[in-house]
Amino acid sequence: MSSPQSPISLLRSIPASARPRTLAAIIEHGSEHDRSLFAPALAELALLSPISARPDAPPPEPIRACLVAWPWIPSEFRRLLAASDLDWPAAASALLETAEPMHRSRLASAARDLPGVLALQPRLLSDPDAGVVQTAARGLFERAAEASQARDHRRAVVLARVLTQALDTFDTHRQRPVIEAVWMLLESPAFTLSLGEPGKALLRWLRTSRDASRSAARTVLRTGEHRWLRARAIAWLAEPATQAAAIDRLSRATDHADHECTLLRAHLLARPTRARVLGLLSPVIKPVNIEGKAVRRPIEGGPVPNRAHVQDLSPRAARALPGYLGLLGITSSDRAMAAEPLLVSDDPRTRLALARMLDDAAARDLLFDPHPLVSRHAAYRWSLAGVASQGDAKTGAKTDADRARLRQARRLERAPSPLVRRVASDQADRLDFLRWPSPMARVQARRLLLRDRSALVSQLRDALANTDDDKRLRAAMVAASLGLGSDLREPLTAILLERKASDPVASTAVRALLRSPDADAELTSAALTHPDPRVRANTIEELARGGADGVRTLEDQLESWLSDRAHRLRAAAVRAALAEPKLAPVGKSALLDMLSDDRAMHRVSGAWLACRARAVDAAAILRDLALRDHDSAVRARADWALRRLASPTMKASA
């Protein structure tokens, strides 16, 4: 057979009836060169075989010969033969009757490519020859793997029916690949039900069977060497029949690949029916003696990855680790310890997932993260993890924890992220009501007032006695807003009587004193003769609100106040006159005089007052000031007043 024509000559010399069997023998016992020459010829003979109209007719010899020589037929011819209308089940049934174990073993191999022959696999599993049984079992597993990988639902239904029959005879063949094929096919309970009646039969077997096959199924799920069995353990974790085996599987992880497989499916474990079962895991973090100290570390081979395994995880698995640790039921400190290697991750999404999981102490490591989303979530986590204790239950004083947290909040107010600064500011306001007038501080002060008025007064008294003017000013603002002038009369009066030429604390303290019901004429006189114009201006405003006595005082001294050199006091007097109906004409005239005053600050105060009083009659003068006044401050304030007068819905606040 040295020339290319010799195979053709040989084929022509063989009788047609003996040609298929002869080709099969040559392929089986010949060299690789002979097989490559004659295997296509045998496939062509099978494809050209006539189809008998008689149902009881024996299958053509070329078809049987193809089954015997199937391992050597090229893959392209296998696809053609599988897609043809040839009666492969009949040929396979006839071949099963042969006494040659090797032929039956090759029939089991052919079942991988021929769906019609697949139904005969349960019979091959009962073959007396062990090699045939093993080949059939491996063939079932390979078909299950192909069906699962290709997501071929039709093939999966056929395979489920065959596997149900194979499980009925498990006590006879005891083939582990059959159980592995079942697990390969059963991706999840929902997918099993989608297979129709064959899938329901497999599900009934898994739930109710008491024979050796179900025990083997649990053993394979628990200790099988295939990595994909971990995915099946996650999918079937909530199933009572497989729960114990699945827990045993998930409680062990030998390398980072096992952890990777689990973490990539951590979203499935978040389902409540599965998350509850995770609590059955044995302790996953234990104390380890390191240099004489007990340090908590993940147990080797346990479900929590150690530092080396975490560093080998893919970015997607690393992002799932914080959420997975939150499902294990371990303490927050243990979660922070296990996830600590992720703090230096280059992936901002991983650090973001970490910020959502960590507690107060651990989240502080991410508060200054360069990515704004990470730092923002860390700040929210920090603010929610440590709620203010509202101080001591009896005295209302801050506890040590409150003071420490307030120091943290003040440091975070210098963070680079504006969102972190805002969260820190809100937290500091919640802890310190002297950060008035922020909304959080207002709420905190009013809450303390309702809960313990004496404690609030005591803290305000201490703040007013402080040497820090800012703290004294804020305490006076709280006292004025909450009407605590009577409770704090002594320290507030002492501040007023210091009679400094410029004292913002005294200007606020006089408001608190004059709003109290026990304000007397002596106190009013001291305030009206104070050297600071702001104190006198605030006194006039409070007198205008003080009822008949205040109005009489206003009427008696209005003329002198309207000619005062201090623009603040003059504006306060004009505003008080405009608010009183019988003094309104005098107030309007005084307002126009302020707008045309030679002194720039008086014109600025007049523009501000025209806006606050909604003096539309002064619009023409304001327009002239905004366009022609030589002082830039006057032009700016007049323009501001005009814009607010033109917009009635806009607040006229300075």
Task: Decide: residue 3, CB within 10 A, 0-12 exposed, 13-18 middle, 19+ buried.
Answer: exposed
Alpha helices, H only, 209-359: 212-223, 228-235, 243-250, 256-263, 266-269, 272-278, 307-311, 315-327, 332-338, 348-357
Share of the chain above pLDDT 70, in %: 85
Instruction: Please tell me the distance from the alpha carbon of residue 467 to that of residue 476, in angstroms, as a whole number.
Output: 14
What is the mean predicted confidence (pLDDT) over 270-285? 81
Tell me the mean pLDDT in the region 470-488.
89
What's the whole-number average pLDDT of the chain?
81
User: What does the alpha-carbon distance between residue 611 and residue 424 come to, in Å, rounded to a whole number?
Assistant: 36
For residue 531, name the pLDDT band (cuts at 50, 70, 90).
Answer: confident
Give just the sign of the alpha carbon dihedral 606, 612, 613, 615: positive
Distance CA 467, CA 277 (A): 61
Which position has the higher pLDDT, 335 or 28?
335
Task: Confirm if 205 and 214 have CB atoms less than 8 A apart.
Answer: yes
Task: State the pLDDT confidence band at 654, using cuts at 50, 70 and 90.
Answer: very low
**pLDDT, position 349:** 92
Which DSSP letter does residue 289 get? E
Query: Residue 396 and residue 460: Cα distance in Å, rounded?
Result: 12
In this structure, what token pair is assigned to residue 168? Answer: 């009925």
Task: Determine the pLDDT at residue 391.
Answer: 52
* pLDDT digit string, tens, across residues 543-564: 877 666 667 777 778 888 888 8
Question: 419 and 376 in contact (C-beta within 8 Å)?
Answer: yes
Full-model pTM: 0.64
Coarse DSSP helix, strand, coil percentages of the chain, rounded to the nearest 5 percent: 70, 0, 30
Given a contact cutoff of 8 angstroms between Cβ atoms, the answer to whether 31 and 43 are in contact is no
Q: How many Å apart are CA 276 and CA 298, to the nearest integer?
A: 21
Count Cβ atoms below 10 Å from residue 564 Cβ, excluding itself.
18
More confident residue, 318 or 423: 318
Instruction: Quote the pLDDT of residue 1.
Output: 42
Identify whether the C-beta of residue 115 lies closer than 8 Å to the C-beta of residue 84.
no
Four-CA torsion 263, 268, 271, 273, nearest 10 degrees: -100
Sort residue 11 into left (φ over 0), alpha (ψ -120 to 50) or beta.
alpha
pLDDT of residue 417: 84
Residue 410 has pLDDT above 70, yes or no: yes
Q: Which amino acid is at 603?
A: R
User: What are the residues whose beta carbons fall under 8 Å from the beta carbon of 162, sequence distance 6 or more?
Assistant: 118, 119, 121, 122, 140
* Residue 336: Cβ-neighbour burial (10 angstroms; 0-12, 13-18, 19+): buried
Q: How confident is the model at residue 231 (pLDDT cuts 50, 70, 90)?
A: very high
Measure Cα distances from 141 to 109, 190, 193, 459, 618 in Å: 12, 21, 20, 78, 94
The Cα–Cα gap between 371 and 627 comes to 47
Summarised one tens digit per residue, pLDDT across range 60-119 is 677 777 777 777 777 777 777 777 767 677 777 767 676 577 777 777 777 767 767 777
**What pLDDT sits at residue 29?**
67
Amino acid identity for residue 71 in this structure: P
Measured CA to CA, the distance from residue 157 to residue 207 in angstroms comes to 19
Question: d(Cα 91, Cα 300) in Å, to the nearest integer?
Answer: 55
